[in-house]
């Protein structure tokens, strides 16, 4: 029994090392080719403006709030000074919209 115990201990140590190494792995998804990237400076401008200028939320049945989803033309888009994109609040979530395509970015 004494000769088997060190083998069990060594196996246990090796198994825990694998678990510890797995926790250090970070997987970063590759950006999609059509992904819109809003620069950090513009993100700050938009975030601060939206926070200072809240608008009423609208409910749109059947609209999935996801990147690339099209917001109906009837939804009022609110301008952000010095920014390309507009914003609106749908189902109590603020979304940034491309005013030309009406897609959520």
Answer yes or no: are the C-beta atoms of 58 and 89 closer than 8 Å: yes
Q: Whole-model pTM?
A: 0.62
Residue identified by tokens 């049945």 is 61
Identify the DSSP state of 90: E
| pLDDT for 84 | 86
For 45-98, the pLDDT digits (tens) are 888 999 999 999 999 888 888 888 999 999 999 998 888 889 999 999 999 999
What is the C-alpha end-to-end distance of the chain, expressed in Å? 64
Instruction: Give the pLDDT band (50/70/90) at residue 1.
Output: very low
Q: Compute the average pLDDT of residues 23-38.
A: 60
């Amino acid at each position: 029994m004494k000769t088997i115990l060190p083998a069990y201990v060594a196996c246990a140590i090796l198994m825990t090392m694998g678990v510890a190494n797995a926790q250090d792995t970070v997987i970063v998804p590759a950006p999609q080719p059509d992904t819109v990237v809003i620069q950090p400076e513009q993100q700050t401008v938009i975030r601060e403006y939206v926070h200072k200028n809240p608008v009423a939320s609208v409910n749109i049945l059947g609209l999935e709030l996801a990147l690339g989803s099209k917001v109906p033309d009837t939804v009022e888009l609110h301008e952000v000074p010095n920014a390309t994109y507009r914003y609106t609040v749908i189902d109590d979530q603020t979304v940034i919209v491309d005013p030309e395509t009406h897609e959520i970015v």
